[in-house]
């Protein structure tokens, strides 16, 4: 399965959140029990800003090559592309691997260790990507606890980490982290009115490896 990058980052609105698969039992209108019924995943809905005709056609071509979900795309949250400590401060001058990569290992369902990084500040709410050496399969996690400032730390994260990544050493991604998503073909809206610039709306759900 191939994966493609979103061609433009000009968005009017983005909804990028964890979709939780839960079942609730209710009595008298009150929830009495909540049970997990599936894997939690990222879900995203993008609406572009007004596009030029050339941009609109390029975006339509991007959606076409996804083939209704047979091919993946790399989704991201435009509001969370860096650890929050570096929104107004410079990133560490030297990374062990280019583009803000470190290494990660020692996986459990909701924790992992990051290491071989410069002294880095990670806080709850930051997003960190995980990808194997081929950098094709990508997953994304939000830090819920742990972190701090250091070059070797263990983080607790949501959503849970796929067992696909257990038992290995992978890249951890701190700058522009992304995850592999599958297009919802029924979500695509690309209408255009005469005399106006077009905008495109589409949604996706994280692929679980």
Start-to-end CA span in the chain (Å): 12
Mean per-residue pLDDT, 81-107: 80
**pLDDT grade for 120, boundaries at 50, 70 and 90:** confident
Consecutive H or E run containing 207: none
Q: Which residues of 66-95 are buried (b: 16+ CB within 10 A; e: fewer)?
A: beebeebbbbbbeebbbbbebeeeeeeeeb
| 20-77 per-position pLDDT tens digit | 876 777 776 666 777 776 789 999 999 999 998 899 999 999 999 999 999 999 999 9
Of the ranges 121-135, 137-151, 191-205, which one carries the lowest mean pLDDT score?
Answer: 191-205
Q: Does 150 score more than 70 pLDDT?
A: yes
Domain locations in the chain as residue ranges: 1-23+34-76+180-209, 79-177
Cα separations in angstroms, 171 against 103, 104, 139: 5, 6, 11
182-193: pLDDT as tens digits: 999 999 999 887
Angstrom distance (rounded) from CA 178 to CA 97:
17
Whole-number pLDDT of residue 31: 62
- Tokens 């959503």 locate to 159
3-state secondary structure of 164: helix
Max alpha carbon distance in the chain (Å)? 59
Q: What pLDDT sits at residue 96? A: 55
CATH of 1-23+34-76+180-209, one of 3.40.30.10, 3.40.50.1970, 3.40.50.2300, 3.30.200.190: 3.30.200.190
199 CB contacts (<8 Å, ≥6 apart)?
12, 47, 48, 49, 50, 51
Q: Which residue has the tokens 């700058």?
A: 175
Q: Which CATH number fits domain 79-177: 3.40.50, 2.40.360, 2.40.30, 1.25.40?
A: 2.40.30
Distance of CA 40 to the CA centre of its chain: 13
* Cα of 162 vs its chain's centroid, Å: 14
Give ∠ CA 76-81-189 in degrees, rounded to 5. Answer: 30
Q: Which residues contact 85 (CB under 8 A, 6 or more apart)?
A: 121, 122, 123
Inform me whether the pLDDT recorded for 99 exceeds 60. no
What is the H or E stretch that residue 54 is in? helix 53-65
Query: What pLDDT, on the 0 to 100 scale, is given for residue 94?
Result: 65
CB-based burial label for 23 (10 Å; 0-12, 13-18, 19+): exposed
pLDDT confidence of residue 195: 67
Report the chain's mean pLDDT, rounded to a whole number: 88
Average pLDDT (111-137) is 91
């Amino acid at each position: 399965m191939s994966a493609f990058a979103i061609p433009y980052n000009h968005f009017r609105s983005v909804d990028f959140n964890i979709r939780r698969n839960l079942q609730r039992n209710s009595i008298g209108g009150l929830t009495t029990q909540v049970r997990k019924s599936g894997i939690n995943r990222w879900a995203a809905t993008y609406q572009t800003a007004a596009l030029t005709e050339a941009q609109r056609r390029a975006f339509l071509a991007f959606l076409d090559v996804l083939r209704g979900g047979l091919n993946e795309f790399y989704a991201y949250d435009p509001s969370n592309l860096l650890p929050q400590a570096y929104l107004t401060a410079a990133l560490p001058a030297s990374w062990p691997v280019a583009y803000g990569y470190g290494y990660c290992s020692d996986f459990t369902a909701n924790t992992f260790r990051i290491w071989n990084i410069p002294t880095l500040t990670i806080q709850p709410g930051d997003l960190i990507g995980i990808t194997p050496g081929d950098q094709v399969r990508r997953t994304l996690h939000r830090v819920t606890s742990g972190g701090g400032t250091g070059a070797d730390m263990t983080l607790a994260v949501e959503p849970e980490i796929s067992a696909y990544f257990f038992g290995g050493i992978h890249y951890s991604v701190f700058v522009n982290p992304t995850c592999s998503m599958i297009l919802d073909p029924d979500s695509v809206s690309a209408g255009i009115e005469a005399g106006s610039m077009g905008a495109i709306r589409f949604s996706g759900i994280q692929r679980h490896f």
